[in-house]
Structure 1
Amino acid sequence: MTLRDHTDIVYNVVWSPDGQQLASVSADQTIIVWDAQTGQPQRVLRGHSSWVFGLGWTPDGRQLASGSQDQTVIIWDTATGQAAATLHGHTDRVKSVAWSPDGRQLASASLDQTIIIWDVTSGPISFILQGHTGRVFDVAWSPNGRQLASTSDDTSVIIWNTATMQPKRTLLGHTDSALAVAWSPDGRQLASASYDRTIIIWDAASGQPQKTLADDTGWILDVAWSPDGQQLASASDAQTVIIWDTATGQPITTLRGHKNIVTSVAWSPDGRQLASASEDQTIILWDAVTHQLKNTLHGHTDWIIRLTWSPDGKRLASAAADQTMIIWNAASGHPVATLQGHNDQINSLAWSPDGQLLASASDDRTIRLINTRYMQPSCQWVTRNLSAAEWDFYLPAGMPYHRTCPDRPVHPSLIEAARDLARAGQIDEAIAQLKHLLSVDPTLDLDPAVEAQQAYQEAVQYLLDQAGEEAQAGDVEAATTTLEQAVALDPTLSLDPQAEAQRLAQPTFENSLEAAVKAAQNNDTETAQAKFEEAIEFAAPLDSAESWHALCDAGTRHDLAEIVLDACDKAIELEPDNGLYYNSRGIARLQLGDQQGAQDDFAKFEAWLEAE
């Protein structure tokens, strides 16, 4: 069954939870809901003003969320086909988003000095929290969902009562912008990080500072509690991650591995790993027990701003200034998906408690909700990994290839792409690519060096064969160009491209001339004339006096001087000292009634004989 109704590229398809419907999104700015049994469109949803990329059903199948290049997320009522909500409300950059523990609300913090509470079940803004006198950088829900904490460049931390949506306490203690905030797992404490190079641990009930953790080496840009609440991790512009003992307020260890500012830290849900992100465009996974570097993740093309683990700890999401989000397989360190749609840097990420939705906040002033459910079962629906062309199209430039479906082999086009590098003479690059593919899929039966060299030799031989075919067709110019490519690819070839092309074309000329002579001998004048003219065309690119003379001599022997006289002239132009050529042209001129011209040529022929 083939479903045809979109008028432009289709970017995504997602099944409804009950499997009865299929929704698709397209560059034609529409979402189509299809009847999975009949293949007929049930509804065409229109509301976006640009390409639609993201798509996700609610668990009950009653709503559908779509994300578009128009910077909006629209939540649709699938029964009516009407847009239920678009998360569009801030008037400046959105720096942070956080889900309520029950997953029903989303809080967003913005440089417009406000926090917006969104009801994600219906879409509209529930509350706008105003209390800060400066830009709001971060927001975090307490574990029980009853309180919300926010930080600002007014140096304060505000704790909000989520029942009344009013400020409950304003925590003052930092002397510079408060950048990040995190609740302890039991909700009794709050940690805030600041440009003043300190972390303050606050008593959430009284609002009093309990400990001040000082990092004299640099600004503290992010802070995260370990799941057991006994440790804090902080990210610093000194390119380090510090792990602190929350009981004593003393540093336990300093993790070094990044080559630029560390922007974000996040503990895995089981507390066994710590992830850190940096302006060096990498993510490092650390063993939280041994404090050793486990893996370095490469994929973003600009500095990474935020990290967050999925609730089950199997995935890690990162957001970057390259306007993309990458979802990683935490075990392998390989990207599962690269999500695009924002048109400015992405500042914050937050998983819904059930791990199905990922919210992102961006400098483009929008918040996007992305349904990640389709990413897990997708390998159950497809029979292969991405091809080379698909990888280049959908993934950021420079991202190393990996198997998005680990139990499927590397797509054959990747091996062919490496061979193409070898065929282009880039042997070292081809070998490196093949070695990478072997590391990605150890089951591949190939030797990178042998494979690359074989492809290289095949490429050279292909060019030689192609030149031969072109020359045999009489296209000496094309054959010369092809041979030049072969010599450029393999400088050890000892040949002159033009001379070799002419040599390869010589038999074609000779065969054509032979056919002309046979036709003349059979008194088939019409065919003979046509074949002589064909032979003249083949002789032209040879630029050979001998070939022109062969035409001249054969033509005059069969009374076709009118056709071959030019060939006689060209032979003499190329070798004016060869008397035989004058004799042949003399005969041609005599046949055409040019007595004087013939006498002159015969005289030169006789003089040549005497000299010989």
Structure 2
Amino acid sequence: MYHAKCTMRTDYSLNLPMESASILVRVFDKSPMRTESEISALTFRNPHTILTIEEDGILGFWNIKTNQEQIKKELEPMIPLWRFNQDASLAAGASDYIHVMDVQSGEHKWGARSLSWVTSLAFSFDSNLLATGHEDGKVRLWNLKNKKPIAEVHLSKLGVSALSFKPDGLELAVATEDCSITLLETISLKPVGKLIGHKDRIPNMVWSPDGSRLYSAGWDTTVRVWNAVDRKPIILLNSHAIQVQAIALSPDGKYLASADSDLLVRIWSTELFQEVGAAREMDEEVRFLAFSPNSKTIASGGVVHITTWDFEPQTKLALSVHPGMLRNSICVHPVQNELLVLNPGNALNIWNIDSIKEKPFPYGMNNPEDFLSFALSKDGEVLAGSFIFQGPKQQRGNPSGSIALWDYHAGKLTKIVESSCSPATSLAFSPCGKFLASGGVLTTEVCVWNLENNSPSIQLTDAVDGNSIADIVFVPDANRLVVAGVDWLATSGKDGQIALWDLDTNKLVYSCNMGAFHLAISVDAKYLACALVCKQVMVLNLQTFEKVAMLCEFQHSINSICFSPDGKFLAASSEDQQVRFWSVENFTHLGTLAIDFRVKAIAFGTDSNHLFALGNNDYCCQYDVHQFLGFSSAEK
């Protein structure tokens, strides 16, 4: 389980495209600590303090309890590469000149000119030695006690990408741009072994505390574990779908953290080599990872953001079970001027839109930090939320779920439905508010719950022809339910199904063998919009089931789709950091809003004048849609 520690951003000086910046209305942000310039190094000084060095030479001391920067010191400016030593008492920075600084005082302790550009740095564990890797493939070793060079070796025609000392100081691991790792005897810098296997750049390496293993991160999407004694690979950890940027090992050696350029941080047990958790970072690549000295907290550093998680390895986060459970949600309360946002595995956050102040979660129990999905009744009176049931089934690796209902206005927990089904990643209220539909990516079943007696009144045991449930939505003017299904493995030869069910007769009315991640129905119940797996938006006429439009403008997966409450606009967001708008009258394209973060979910405001875009870690921006579409029309 991870508990994100975040604060609200009060600085709105965002690096937005000119077009989106001009229509930005508000920022709702529980983002982590934020530096003023790009982060060049990150580490823990103690369990409660993080140190950062920024590219402009600013050393920052951050209190992770308050998320505030307590101290700033000026080091050497405009040095692109920095590294801390083991106890964070020293920092080394280099370009064509090498600097060693005292962290506490900020004073310069030693410096030397380099004959070639430095591309990697590493302190020995006792801080007596400093190794430098260079763009010309050379490695140099420096004695920090007498401030003299010890040895030099030319390993490759290509540059050095990473360095790491063995804890006992007897060996130095050197990764070069030819995708290999060379093990050197420290003082002489003589090669004693070579590790071959990576197919792309190796940006990071770390040794186990006893020196028996070496862990390496690769841009080939893998983390590799090596036996440092016989120089052979132990295992390949390849759950990442994209290049691995950073790794870190807990001080007790029990857990390994790895981060990829798709913002996903994975945690591994080094005993079983099994993944024990996963978490999403902010909307920027993860460049640094660090464990606290007590191994209980993980810090990640992005371009300018710092995020921390309290890590409880005895509790497995069920979100790591299936990628479809990583679903973000956002909605505007239909009556109160409030915004509800959820990143799965986190608490549900409620913001007052005018004051940009977060509302406490007062609903009769602690805010569940493993929320998977939520839904509001049409009148906004009832809030439903699904979360992971922490019971024996989950401990056996088969997570089960529960659904809770709250009186939104009274702030009172009214019901908990203990479900034997898998956790619900999709929830939808019926128009009358008497029924709640639930489904999840780990099941093919949809349950329609009678909220008066807490029992399932209808069970669609195979709602979408054997496919996993991706989304569900009620048709506003009738007792009908639309279900989107996805075949995640594409074992059936198709990518899923969209099905329309008549709940009065419990019969299938219409089906289409196309997988869809998200659904939206226009307020007049005339149109159904489907965000297809094939990166298109399909619009169907719900009366005739005729295909009205295929909107084929996406290069990346579509992660959210919605109609405006006034029925005039359809909007969809995708992983390409863009939100596209169409006219519902004829489904012509009205404009594309470019945003500087990865949009995970969107929702229109109740007046249809504004659009809310949610990023990772509950970061949300409000945009003036009418002003933006006015710009788009003028341009046309």
State the TM-score, normalized to the length of structure 1: 0.51
Q: Name the CA distance, whole Å, in 2 between partners of 1:156 and 1:322.
A: 33
Quick check: 1:130 aligned with 2:61?
no
For 1:346, what is the secondary structure of its paired residue? coil
- 1:456-471 aligned at under 5 Å gives the runs none
Q: What is aligned with 2:37?
A: 92
- The one of 159, 162, 165 equivalent to 2:103 is 162
Shift of the alpha carbon at 1:129? 2.7
Shift of the alpha carbon at 1:191? 1.4
- The one of 68, 72, 83 equivalent to 1:139 is 83
Q: What is aligned with 1:377?
A: 314
Shift of the alpha carbon at 1:424? 6.7
Q: Name the CA distance, whole Å, in 2 between partners of 1:162 and 1:330.
A: 32
Contact 2:125 2:168 in 1 (8 A): yes
Contact 1:109 1:136 in 2 (8 A): no
Quick check: 1:366 aligned with 2:305?
yes
- The one of 88, 92, 95 equivalent to 1:150 is 92
- The one of 160, 164, 185 equivalent to 1:245 is 185
> 1:287 is aligned with what amino acid?
N
Q: What is aligned with 1:408?
A: 396
Q: Name the CA distance, whole Å, in 2 between partners of 1:127 and 1:277.
A: 31
Give the structure, 1 or 2, with the largest relative contact order (CA under 8 Å, sep 6 or more): 2
For 1:91, what is the secondary structure of its paired residue? coil
For 1:124, what is the secondary structure of its paired residue? strand
- 1:5-154 aligned at under 5 Å gives the runs 47-48=8-9, 70=29, 72-73=31-32, 87-88=33-34, 90-100=35-45, 102-103=46-47, 105-118=49-62, 120=64, 123-132=68-77, 134-143=78-87, 145=88, 147-153=89-95
Q: Name the CA distance, whole Å, in 2 between partners of 1:13 and 1:215.
A: 41
Q: Name the CA distance, whole Å, in 2 between partners of 1:324 and 1:275.
A: 18
Alignment RMSD: 4.6
Q: Name the CA distance, whole Å, in 2 between partners of 1:164 and 1:383.
A: 44
Q: What is aligned with 1:204?
A: 144
Cα–Cα, structure 1 residues 242 and 309, in superposed 2: closer, same or farther, change >3 Å?
A: same
- 1:89-488 aligned at under 5 Å gives the runs 90-100=35-45, 102-103=46-47, 105-118=49-62, 120=64, 123-132=68-77, 134-143=78-87, 145=88, 147-153=89-95, 155-176=96-117, 178-363=118-303, 365-372=304-311, 375-379=312-316, 386=321, 389-390=324-325, 408-411=396-399, 416=443, 423=466
> 2:72 is aligned with what amino acid?
F
For 2:287, what is the secondary structure of its paired residue? strand
Contact 2:84 2:90 in 1 (8 A): yes
Q: Name the CA distance, whole Å, in 1 between partners of 2:321 and 2:48.
A: 35
Q: Name the CA distance, whole Å, in 1 between partners of 2:241 and 2:209.
A: 27
For 2:325, what is the secondary structure of its paired residue? helix
Q: Name the CA distance, whole Å, in 2 between partners of 1:260 and 1:113.
A: 30
State the TM-score, normalized to the length of structure 2: 0.49
Shift of the alpha carbon at 1:206? 2.2
- 1:569-584 aligned at under 5 Å gives the runs none
Contact 1:385 1:408 in 2 (8 A): no
Contact 2:85 2:127 in 1 (8 A): no
Contact 2:75 2:101 in 1 (8 A): no
Residue deviations 1:315-371 (CA, integer Å, cap 9, x gap): 1112232223222222333322222232211111121111122222211x1222222
Q: Name the CA distance, whole Å, in 2 between partners of 1:388 and 1:175.
A: 45
Q: Name the CA distance, whole Å, in 2 between partners of 1:304 and 1:69.
A: 30
Q: Name the CA distance, whole Å, in 2 between partners of 1:410 and 1:125.
A: 44
Contact 1:140 1:181 in 2 (8 A): no
Q: Name the CA distance, whole Å, in 2 between partners of 1:260 and 1:165.
A: 37
> 1:369 is aligned with what amino acid?
T
Q: Name the CA distance, whole Å, in 1 between partners of 2:196 and 2:284.
A: 30
For 1:344, what is the secondary structure of its paired residue? coil
Q: What's the % identity of the aligned pairs?
A: 18
Q: Name the CA distance, whole Å, in 2 between partners of 1:157 and 1:129.
A: 16
Q: What is aligned with 1:489?
A: none
Shift of the alpha carbon at 1:168? 0.8
For 1:378, what is the secondary structure of its paired residue? coil
> 2:308 is aligned with what amino acid?
L
Structure with greater strand percent: 2
Cα–Cα, structure 1 residues 13 and 252, in superposed 2: closer, same or farther, change >3 Å?
A: closer
Residue deviations 1:521-568 (CA, integer Å, cap 9, x gap): xxxxxxxxxxxxxxxxxxxxxxxxxxxxxxxxxxxxxxxxxxxxxxxx
Contact 2:8 2:30 in 1 (8 A): no
Mind listing any 5+ residue stretches in structure 2 that lack a counterpart? Answer: 12-26, 329-343, 346-391, 400-420, 423-440, 446-461, 469-485, 514-636
Q: Name the CA distance, whole Å, in 2 between partners of 1:305 and 1:292.
A: 23
Shift of the alpha carbon at 1:294? 1.3
Contact 2:2 2:310 in 1 (8 A): no
Mind listing any 5+ residue stretches in structure 1 that lack a counterpart? Answer: 1-11, 15-23, 26-30, 32-45, 51-67, 74-86, 396-403, 435-451, 454-458, 486-612
Q: Name the CA distance, whole Å, in 1 between partners of 2:299 and 2:197.
A: 29
Contact 1:149 1:181 in 2 (8 A): no
For 1:139, what is the secondary structure of its paired residue? strand
Q: Name the CA distance, whole Å, in 2 between partners of 1:152 and 1:296.
A: 33
Residue deviations 1:48-74 (CA, integer Å, cap 9, x gap): 579xxxxxxxxxxxxxxxxx984743x
Contact 2:225 2:236 in 1 (8 A): yes
More off after superposition, 274-283 vs 178-187: 178-187
Q: Name the CA distance, whole Å, in 2 between partners of 1:175 and 1:392.
A: 47
Shift of the alpha carbon at 1:415? 7.3
Contact 1:233 1:242 in 2 (8 A): yes
Q: Name the CA distance, whole Å, in 2 between partners of 1:301 and 1:220.
A: 25
Contact 1:95 1:108 in 2 (8 A): yes
Contact 2:444 2:467 in 1 (8 A): no
> 1:152 is aligned with what amino acid?
A
> 1:109 is aligned with what amino acid?
I
Shift of the alpha carbon at 1:121? 6.4
Q: Name the CA distance, whole Å, in 1 between partners of 2:36 and 2:152.
A: 34
Q: Name the CA distance, whole Å, in 2 between partners of 1:433 and 1:408.
A: 27
Contact 2:51 2:62 in 1 (8 A): yes
Cα–Cα, structure 1 residues 138 and 172, in superposed 2: closer, same or farther, change >3 Å?
A: same
For 1:295, what is the secondary structure of its paired residue? strand
> 2:325 is aligned with what amino acid?
E
Q: Name the CA distance, whole Å, in 2 between partners of 1:348 and 1:367.
A: 9
Cα–Cα, structure 1 residues 71 and 257, in superposed 2: closer, same or farther, change >3 Å?
A: farther
More off after superposition, 274-283 vs 294-303: 294-303
Contact 1:237 1:263 in 2 (8 A): no
Contact 1:118 1:127 in 2 (8 A): no
For 2:74, what is the secondary structure of its paired residue? strand
Q: Name the CA distance, whole Å, in 2 between partners of 1:405 and 1:258.
A: 38
Structure with greater helix percent: 1
